[in-house]
Copies of this chain bind each other. A is one copy, B any other.
């Protein structure tokens, strides 16, 4: 698939600023990839449309095909067709993606050259860090729907990633979710101030009566 619909870049930037936890909540507590998807280094918070790759275990050929189909601001998403921790991706592929403006890699498998990737500031969220080399022997698919770390990701869906992990937002819902996320951020600001001043969540959220009704007792 050469052509995919990409959401408004401003929407992606907004989602990237809000971060994974906020976006996850803003869309009704959905879209989180499995907790084993961890960043190879801390401190990044990004979002962008997914270019998806479905690849056989231990075969990274289709990533090369995908590079050509990426646009600046995209995030490459790679899912093997059966569970695999091999090191599909290293600094050469990252150099190529970075040259084409790709923001990051999200891969339900392994990655290598992580020290160099950190120096290059090319972030990766992966299942494993593992140098195991891969082959180039079989075809896979680019820009098809994939199951990546327990979530369905379509080409053009927005992938949000930070130190909390990775969340996917349907492309068609991205603008609406970004609005809901912005509201949530604003609403939290006031709560944060009240909590910082020592006020209790029990009082702010008026939990006392509900808990008493359920039978909470103090001894």
A: which residues have CB within 8 A of B? 1-2, 19-21, 24-25, 29-30, 32, 34-35, 38, 41-43, 45, 56-58, 61, 64-65, 67-68, 81-87, 90-93, 95-96, 98-100, 110, 112-115, 118, 128-133, 135-139, 145, 147, 150-152, 162-165, 167, 188, 191-192, 195-198, 200-202, 205, 207, 211, 214-216, 218-219
A49 to chain B, nearest CB (A): 18
CB–CB A82/B64 < 8 A:
no
Please name 6 further chain A to chain B contacts, defined as beta carbons within 8 Å, in addition to the given A35-B83, A96-B200, sorted by A numbering. Answer: A1-B219, A21-B112, A57-B57, A64-B202, A135-B137, A139-B211
Among B45, B84, B91, point to the contact of A84 (Cβ < 8 A). Answer: B84
Q: B196 touching A99 by the CB < 8 A rule?
A: yes
- Do A191 and B135 have beta carbons less than 8 Å apart? no
> Distance (Å) between the CB of A36 and the closest chain B CB?
9
Can you tell how many copies of this chain the complex includes? 6
Shortest Cβ distance from residue A210 to the other chain B in the assembled complex, whole angstroms = 8
15 CB < 8 A contacts A-B: A21-B112, A29-B81, A32-B132, A41-B42, A56-B58, A61-B211, A64-B202, A65-B216, A82-B84, A87-B164, A91-B192, A135-B137, A147-B147, A147-B150, A152-B152
Q: How far is the CA of A100 from the CA of B201 in the complex (A)?
A: 12
Given known pairs A96-B200, A136-B207, A167-B131, the reply for A151 and B162 (CB within 8 Å) is no
Query: Do the beta carbons of B130 and A35 come within 8 Å of each other?
Result: yes
Pairwise interchain contact B131-A24, C-beta atoms closer than 8 A: yes
Residues of B within 8 A of A200 (CB): 64, 67-68, 96
Residue of B with least CB distance to A3: B219
Q: How far is the CA of A41 from the CA of B163 in the complex (A)?
A: 11
A201's contact among B67, B114, B152, by CB below 8 Å, is which?
A: B67
Q: With A21-B113, A112-B164 given, is the CB distance from A58 to B82 under 8 Å?
A: yes
| Interface contact A147-B152, CB-CB below 8 Å | yes
Contact B92 A129 (CB under 8 A): no
